[in-house]
Amino acid sequence: MQELIGTGVALVTPFDAQGAVDHLALARIVHYQVENGIDYLVVLGTTGESITLSKQEKADVIKTINDANNGRLPMVLGLGGNDTAVVVNELKTMNLTDFIAILSVSPSYSKPTQEGIYQHFKMLSQASSIPIILYNVPGRTGTNMEVETVVRLSAFENIIAIKEAAGDIVQAMKMIQYTPKDFLVISGDDMIANAMTLAGGAGVISVIGQAMAQDFSDMIRYALNGDVGESYQLHYKMAAVVEMIFEQGNPAGIKTLLQHLELCGNEVRLPLVKVDTLLNKRLKTFLESY
């Protein structure tokens, strides 16, 4: 899956002032990714506020992104949940022909054991017609996918990667070390994406990348090429804004940055709220001085 080596972005779902999906803004964001060096698009992930979207809204978001992209970049679909049977049914019934893989988060809230996580993804592997990217984000799910579990799952032919977002560089390095060479360990944490890539990772699925698209994707390309100095020069150039966009939650921070780039508004759906005035000003000041 060479298409997944580099920088993917977890796309936001823009809303208008009335709370409806802003499809014109969504198309602008897609064009911005294509024109500024991003390698692939991740549709309906956590950053896309997918849990607040209706079934029809999800279908409409997929159509807008697909139409705007027009086959220019590979696409990955976020598809997961904490009811294994429901996710299996979605995998069997959804039209996945426009996607090269699905990104499936470890079950949240239920806090399954490592064996439960393994059996969940085993069922998904048997049901999916396209490759699966595991997604480990214990800060959201409440349970960490241990290295041993990831190694076990990497034996399935169609489980080809993990988006590793535990924020633990040592755990990430062990995943890189102990999984097969063709298994991709992708950073899900923008702050350590450069370090993970230099350690042998396959790049990043990024939040900040959709605003700082050119520089962030260049940073990852430098890292993949082993150009340490150049990659860290860009990392430190962007480090402050990476911290800022997560201070008051995702995607409230990145939507504010995108608003200052005139790509979309900063509306989010409850229970999320917009960033406060001070952070809004700090993000604007960063862009003005960047």
User: Is residue 135 flagged as an active site residue?
Assistant: yes
**Regarding beta strands 203-206 and 75-78, do their DSSP bridges make them parallel or antiparallel, or are they unpaired?**
unpaired
Q: Give the containing element (helix H, strand E) for 56.
A: helix 55-69
Going by DSSP bridges, is the β-strand pair 132-136/101-105 parallel, antiparallel, or unpaired? parallel
Helix (H) or strand (E) holding 9: strand 6-10
CA–CA distance, 44 with 62 (Å, rounded to integer): 8
Give the phi and the psi of residue 3 in degrees, each rounded to 5: -65, -20
Structure-token match 């709370």, residue found: 19
DSSP for 10-22 reads E----B-TTSSB-
Q: Which residues pair with 104 in a beta bridge?
A: 134
Active-site residue (options: 58, 163, 255, 274): 163
Instruction: Write down the catalytic residue from 32, 135, 255, 274.
Output: 135
Pair 79, 104: CB distance under 8 Å: yes
| Positions marked catalytic | 135, 163
